[in-house]
Structure 1
Amino acid sequence: MAIAAHPAHLVLRNARIHTVDPALPEAQAMAVVDGRIAWIGSDKDAQGWTGPDTRVIDAGGKLVLPGFIDAHNHVRLGSDDACVQLSGARTLDEVHARIRAWRTSHPDAEWIEAEAFDYSAIPGGRMPTAGDLDPVTGDVPTFVLSYDVHTAWVNTAAMRRLGIDRDHTGLPFGEAATDSTTGEPTGFITDFAVKGLSRDGHRALQTLGLPWASPDRQYGRLTKSLDDAIGFGITTVVEPQNSLDDLALFARARAEGRLRSRIVAALFHPRGTTDSDLDDFAAAARRYADDRIRVGPLKLYIDDVVEPRTAALLEPYAGCRHHRGDTFYPPEEFASLLTKLDARGFQCFVHATGDRGIRTVLDAVEHARAVNGPRDARHQVVHVECLDPDDTPRFAALGVVACMQPRHSAPEVAGPGKDWAENIGVGRWHKAWPLRSLHTAGALLALSSDWNVAEMDPMIGIYTAVTRRPLGGGEPWMRQETISVEAAVHGYTMGSAYANFLEHERGSLTVGKAADFVVLSRDILRAAPEDIPGTVVETVVVAGLVEHGG
């Protein structure tokens, strides 16, 4: 037994600690000094670390895990209480009903804003139009975000306010779709995540008076999401897409005591980013580089999303003779760009959902290694939704992280009858979110929620990774790509820590690391899989301080 020279500030005892550290896989007790783990071992030895001022947490025999690290969580987008909530609205009639109800409660609103629209609510597999909104919105400009925030849907009044007409479809905040016959804009806007969430796009929306884009609304979404994160035991949040303007929101949250989780903020690199911008990004990384807010990775897009058929596929979409989506950069240009960023030492998070998009990213990393030489870059392919089996071993071979969101693979989200599965076609379903194939091939999995695209709760992500079943139970979809509970927990802890160069500080309960841990209401390592989603986080400790429960 190690005898403490000074009593610990906090002692955890009577616990079943799953450390995620192969050197000491399990323990019963832990001592924390100055925010770090000073000792970990058996209950009988914990008394040597306990003094009159030591805070003692009796875990009651419950499971203790490292704090969750959500490797892709849009806490700045969050969910907005000022918006009509369309989550779960499965038909256009239900969308209309929710908008009508909101208008009744807000008769003087100058804008109607809504979020979490599901593409499948529109009959016939088509994309929505202004004509679908006009009957229930009238002359009040209306702005609706899809559940994945990759597209927007506006009414005729909003098109007037936003300056959208047949001569102005290439917008600072997206691309306005046009009718193939008339050439008139339809009211559907693609590329919103790429352009609308950029610095220039967001500023344009602010100038045009869209309330959703205002700083106060942004801060409200951020703080609400941060409160949710700590309640779910997420002790480190990786916010994957920010402009330099957005960093002030995190600094404000910290100054006001609202930043209880740690933050890693990636900076958005849209097309047109200059060398001067890169210098500014590097300066921001130097300015924000402590254990609470760290800035540094770059976020890029190579393709869009499968549901509106804007992801890049190797073969045409189901039911199409030729259309297979496109990449935002020609492959050679993207390879040159990634090589340049790699040479400057940047880590890149690249959104890629389609098999051709993913291959383009892997080819670019391979090119960068050939030109610059191998380095521990830990570039990430984010989402990895439709992966060709030929590319599976390339992740481990190239040292590329697979940053994935298990919940996206749930049958009720993307399975048979949903737009994702129907657009890909049954012949390619074996490519869908291949967690087990990647894990078996030695790829590093960094798991995450992609909030607010999906639920933030890691228990839901772990359940889906383990079962591939609907949240309410039922038949699994692509069961062969499930992984074990232990592997899923690793993906939400050590996997995500390593993916973000944090493995020496977080991700496991190891002496010397930050004392970030959670106490769960249920032992998910031993529970029936169907009980995992009902598990709650009873206590959350960050840097040795109880931030939730206790």
Structure 2
Amino acid sequence: MTPTIEIHDARDIFTDAPVSLRLEGGCIAWIGAPGTMPDAPPPARRIAAGGRRIAPGFCESHLHLFWGGATLSQLNLLGIEGAEAAAQAIAGFAAETPAVALLVAYSANYEVLGPGTRPDRHALDRLCPERPLLMIAVDGHGAWANTAALAAAGLMTCVPEVENAEVVLGPDGKPNGELREGAAIALVQRLSTSGGREGLVIAGDEPGTVSPADRAADKATLAAALAACAAHGITTAVNMDGNLYLADLLTEMEAEGALPIRVSTAMRLSPAHDDARIAELIEAATRPAQGKLGFGRIKMFLDGVFDTWTAYRTDDYPGRPGFRSEPLFTPERYSALCVAADARGLQIQVHCVGDAAVRLALDGYAAARAANGPRDARHRIEHIDMLHPDDLPRLRDLGVIASMQPVHPPGSSGLPLEPTVSIMGRDRWRDTFPWAALAGAGVPIAFGTDWPTAPLSPFNAIHAALSRTPWAEDVPDQRLPFEAVIEAYTTGGARALFAEEGRGRLAPGMAADLVLLDGDPRALREDAGACRAALTICAGEIVHEAAL
């Protein structure tokens, strides 16, 4: 039975007004001014908030749980700049993990080894000459392997064909170490401790036979990821990828009472999947919710990222006349999948970085509406790094959710400006990461981090949202006010999951999904460390508690 909890002398994050709450049966039973709580039986726990701010639990609207959990035992290179710093970090990590077959580092900037450079296997050989090393780019769409890793994967003798991906070759016809997109990265990632199963989840493919020990390890990886979420005040995790294996793992964990927070997971449809596999994944996505676990969504990718020139755009890439990249699905195939998924009542979410990808995504949603009739579908577009102005009203008119990540603009959260802003092109800067434009047009926004491509902390992301600086004087300021940023992390996330009637607000009858904060959240504009989660409550249960 869920314990009764009283929280006294807190302050509402939105109004800063003093407030107390009584939680019963997993819901907010009462909320009001301190000292006015009606008489009731003593609670199981009485918490003196001491004036700390209280907020609805954060809804992390875009993360990768399995991959994020796997990175907790890998080397984080975010913020590492220069070959010397990278060499020191890798050497230290290698010394700490002598038995690991493949050293895996993540969140490496594309110019991690120095301005104007791009890693290759020869550069990585100088950093780590003997042990296999895989360095994954900050966006997860590129990676680099040293010669030892490429040889261990068999790529130095034979490079297989990979669909919608590339093992980049050097002048000698051998791999130069760069791996573009997931199918290429997976060729080396399978040598890792996890067997690369996190990559298979992202691709929507199955791992085949998994030993009981590996299955238990994978559940432990997910548990670690969920514990990390709870420690940051996150009470709902919206997982962006999935296969049948992950769905089964999460279902088992829910049955075992091992989900501390709510999880919504999608099924990933890939261009490589045949009709039978597509049907299988769509069917899996229709599974009913169970306790803290929800389904009801599919995920597709329409393009890649700017740094590998795989973002699909409406104009030519600077310095590459006639080249705009290509969509991962043909328009006909993509629209057919939208129609099929929408007919089953599923929510569709699509990775779109370039503005042509966004336009194609909207075309698919329009096709689904035309074929199946209008409904409150709340289909989503993930990222929207670039948006053509002509498509702004289409997002509103089609009822699309803009799922955005305030940590993604170059110059934010440890990301350098180059090479991304030059690849985007100076004359397109005004069309990038258009949060304020979307909000002004009435498009609902939900915020997340895309963890582990960026730090999981919502406080770091809120700081990034509030402190973002335009890249030039003629580039619009796309920042949102404090209240709108918090809403995008709470009520906006709940609405994107059709859960706004029960989550995302501080009101009687709402779910007891709450976070009590240490520090002043409004000070996050200046300092990413100005605030932290002191207490996280999900469904009326305390799932994280720091010293109060």
TM over 0.5: yes
CA distance in 2, matches of 1:285, 1:43: 44
Q: Offset at 1:184?
A: 3.1
CA distance in 1, matches of 2:34, 2:436: 36
SS in 2 for 1:452: coil
Give 1:198's aligned amino acid: L
Structure 2: runs of 5 or more not aligned: 187-198
CA distance in 1, matches of 2:158, 2:381: 36
| 8 Å CA contact retained: 2:10, 2:51 | yes
Deviations 1:246-289 (A, max 9, x none): 23443455466652111111111112434544554455456551
Deviations 1:288-346 (A, max 9, x none): 51231112211100000111211111112223223322210222332222122212222
Match of residue 512, structure 2, among 510, 515, 525: 515
| 8 Å CA contact retained: 1:175, 1:192 | no
CA distance in 1, matches of 2:533, 2:414: 28
**In the superposition, relative to structure 1, how do residues 281 and 502 fare at CA in structure 2: closer, same or farther (>3 Å)?**
farther
SS in 2 for 1:394: helix
Q: Offset at 1:162?
A: 2.1
Match of 1:100 in 2: 91
| 8 Å CA contact retained: 1:152, 1:192 | no
Match of 1:157 in 2: 148
Within a 5 Å distance, the mapping from 1:149-298 to structure 2 comes to 149-164=140-155, 168-171=159-162, 174-179=165-170, 181-192=171-182, 196=186, 197-198=199-200, 215=215, 218-251=218-251, 253-254=253-254, 258-281=258-281, 284-285=284-285, 287=287, 289-298=289-298
Match of 1:141 in 2: 132
| 8 Å CA contact retained: 1:178, 1:184 | yes
TM-score under structure 2 length normalisation = 0.87
**In the superposition, relative to structure 1, how do residues 47 and 124 fare at CA in structure 2: closer, same or farther (>3 Å)?**
closer
| 8 Å CA contact retained: 1:143, 1:153 | yes
Cα RMSD (Å): 3.4
Match of 1:524 in 2: 521
**In the superposition, relative to structure 1, how do residues 236 and 96 fare at CA in structure 2: closer, same or farther (>3 Å)?**
same
Match of 2:544 in 1: 548
The answer on 1:115 being equivalent to 2:97 is: no
**In the superposition, relative to structure 1, how do residues 203 and 273 fare at CA in structure 2: closer, same or farther (>3 Å)?**
closer
Match of 2:195 in 1: none
**In the superposition, relative to structure 1, how do residues 300 and 62 fare at CA in structure 2: closer, same or farther (>3 Å)?**
same
**In the superposition, relative to structure 1, how do residues 141 and 92 fare at CA in structure 2: closer, same or farther (>3 Å)?**
same
The answer on 1:16 being equivalent to 2:11 is: yes
Deviations 1:446-487 (A, max 9, x none): 1001111111111121222222059xxx99995610101110
Q: Offset at 1:532?
A: 5.8
CA distance in 1, matches of 2:363, 2:453: 28
CA distance in 2, matches of 1:202, 1:413: 29
Within a 5 Å distance, the mapping from 1:51-62 to structure 2 comes to 51-62=41-52
Deviations 1:73-95 (A, max 9, x none): 11211253543332222223432
SS in 2 for 1:407: coil
SS in 2 for 1:348: strand
CA distance in 1, matches of 2:206, 2:124: 23
Aligned sequence identity (%): 30
Q: Offset at 1:220?
A: 4.7
**In the superposition, relative to structure 1, how do residues 124 and 207 fare at CA in structure 2: closer, same or farther (>3 Å)?**
farther
Match of 1:336 in 2: 336
| 8 Å CA contact retained: 2:167, 2:180 | yes
| 8 Å CA contact retained: 1:465, 1:483 | yes
**In the superposition, relative to structure 1, how do residues 104 and 112 fare at CA in structure 2: closer, same or farther (>3 Å)?**
same
Give 1:294's aligned amino acid: G
| 8 Å CA contact retained: 2:297, 2:349 | yes
**In the superposition, relative to structure 1, how do residues 83 and 259 fare at CA in structure 2: closer, same or farther (>3 Å)?**
same
Within a 5 Å distance, the mapping from 1:388-537 to structure 2 comes to 388-409=388-409, 411-412=411-412, 417-469=417-469, 480-525=477-522, 527=523, 529-531=525-527, 533-537=529-533
| 8 Å CA contact retained: 2:142, 2:185 | no
Q: How many pairs align? A: 531
**In the superposition, relative to structure 1, how do residues 415 and 147 fare at CA in structure 2: closer, same or farther (>3 Å)?**
closer
Bigger Cα displacement from structure 2, 271-280 vs 441-450: 271-280
Bigger Cα displacement from structure 2, 312-321 vs 163-172: 163-172
Give 2:178's aligned amino acid: F
Q: Offset at 1:173?
A: 9.9
CA distance in 2, matches of 1:507, 1:81: 28
**In the superposition, relative to structure 1, how do residues 199 and 487 fare at CA in structure 2: closer, same or farther (>3 Å)?**
closer
CA distance in 2, matches of 1:42, 1:204: 52
SS in 2 for 1:28: strand
| 8 Å CA contact retained: 1:303, 1:354 | yes
**In the superposition, relative to structure 1, how do residues 287 and 372 fare at CA in structure 2: closer, same or farther (>3 Å)?**
closer
Give 1:548's aligned amino acid: H
| 8 Å CA contact retained: 1:13, 1:58 | yes
Give 2:53's aligned amino acid: L
SS in 2 for 1:76: helix
Match of 2:192 in 1: none
Deviations 1:480-510 (A, max 9, x none): 1010111011100111111111112211122
Deviations 1:150-185 (A, max 9, x none): 122222232233232585342489531223x44432
| 8 Å CA contact retained: 1:195, 1:201 | no
SS in 1 for 2:408: helix
**In the superposition, relative to structure 1, how do residues 515 and 428 fare at CA in structure 2: closer, same or farther (>3 Å)?**
same
Match of 2:82 in 1: 91
Q: Offset at 1:193?
A: 7.2
SS in 1 for 2:407: helix
Structure 1: runs of 5 or more not aligned: 1-6
Match of 1:3 in 2: none
Match of residue 43, structure 1, among 34, 37, 41: 34
**In the superposition, relative to structure 1, how do residues 206 and 54 fare at CA in structure 2: closer, same or farther (>3 Å)?**
closer
Bigger Cα displacement from structure 2, 539-548 vs 11-20: 11-20
Match of residue 65, structure 1, among 55, 77, 96: 55
CA distance in 2, matches of 1:37, 1:391: 40
TM-score under structure 1 length normalisation = 0.87
CA distance in 1, matches of 2:100, 2:51: 52
CA distance in 1, matches of 2:437, 2:299: 25
Q: Offset at 1:227?
A: 1.8
